[in-house]
Amino acid sequence: MRDRVCRGDASEAGYGGLSPELRKGEISPWMQSGLRVGIIAALIALLGIAAFSIISFIGAPFILTVLINAWFAGSVIYLAGLSYGIINDLIGCRKNLPYFSLGHRPGQKSIIQSNDPNAVGIAWGIFATAGLAIPAGILFSVATLITGFIGLPFAAFALPFIAAIIPIILLGAHLYSQKKARQREKGGPLGYYDIPYIDSYQAERLRCWLKTSKDINSWLSNSDRNMAGFIAMPIFAVVGLASFITLSAIPSLLPAVIFSAAISIFPPVGLGILLAVGIFAACAYLYVNHKKQVNNGYRLDFPNTDKSAPAASPTSTHRRVGNVIADEPAPIGTSPRKAAVTPVINGTMAEEAEPTPASERGRNRPPITHSDESSGGEPPAHEALLQFSP
Q: What is the pLDDT along the chain (390 residues), one digit of tens a residue?
A: 444 557 555 446 688 888 888 999 999 999 999 999 999 999 999 999 999 999 998 989 999 999 999 999 999 999 999 999 999 999 999 999 999 999 999 999 999 999 999 999 999 999 999 999 999 999 999 999 999 999 999 999 999 999 999 999 999 999 999 999 999 999 889 987 889 888 999 999 999 899 899 999 999 999 999 999 989 999 999 999 999 999 999 998 999 889 888 899 999 999 999 999 999 999 999 999 999 999 888 999 998 655 443 333 333 333 333 333 333 343 444 444 333 333 333 433 334 444 444 444 434 434 433 334 333 444 443 333 333 333
Count Cα neighbours of 150 within 13 Å in the Cβ-side half-sphere: 9
Write down the pLDDT at residue 192: 77
Q: Are residues 22 and 159 in the same domain?
A: yes
Q: Which of 242, 271, 289 is the last residue of a domain?
A: 289
Considering the domain architecture, whether residues 231 and 366 belong to the same structural domain is answered as no
pLDDT at 357: 45
285 shares a domain with 364: no
Say what the alpha-carbon torsion angle 366, 368, 373, 378 is, to the nearest 10 degrees.
80
- Whether 151 maps to a domain, the answer reads yes
- 123 and 37 inside one domain: yes
- Give the angle subtended at the CA of 326 by the CAs of 325 and 332, to the nearest 5°: 150
pLDDT, position 8: 53
User: Phi and psi of 366, rounded to 5°?
Assistant: -75, 150
Residues 284 and 325 in one domain: no
Residue 306 counted as domain residue: no
Q: Looking at the structure, do residues 185 and 40 belong to the same domain, yes or no?
A: yes
In terms of domains, do 335 and 222 share one?
A: no
Domain boundary residue, one of 270, 289, 308: 289
In a shared domain, residues 220 and 367: no
Tally of CB atoms within 10 A around 244: 24
Please indicate, yes or no, whether residues 72 and 208 belong to a single structural domain of this protein: yes
- Residue 311 domain flag: no
Query: In angstroms, rounded to a whole number, what is the distance separating the alpha carbons of residues 273 and 50?
Result: 8
pLDDT of the residue at 57: 87
Q: Decide if 56 is inside a domain.
A: yes
In a domain, 300, yes or no: no
Same domain, 105 and 230: yes
Q: Residue 282: CA atoms inside 13 Å, Cβ hemisphere, count?
A: 29
pTM of the full structure: 0.76
279 and 322 belong to one structural domain:
no
Q: Are 129 and 78 in contact (CB under 8 A)?
A: no
Q: How many domains does the chain have?
A: 2
- Choosing from 273, 289, 305, the residue where a domain stops is 289
Whether residue 226 is found in the same domain as residue 338: no
Residue 239 lies in a domain: yes
Q: How far is CA 272 from CA 74, 181, 252, 387, in A?
A: 11, 36, 27, 60
Residue 323 is assigned to a structural domain of this protein: yes
pLDDT in the model for residue 7? 59
- pLDDT score of 94: 95
Q: Tell me which amino acid residue 233 is.
A: M
What integer pLDDT is reported at residue 9 of this predicted model? 54
The answer to whether position 228 is within a domain reads yes
- The per-residue pLDDT for 275 is 97
Range of the domain at 343: 318-386
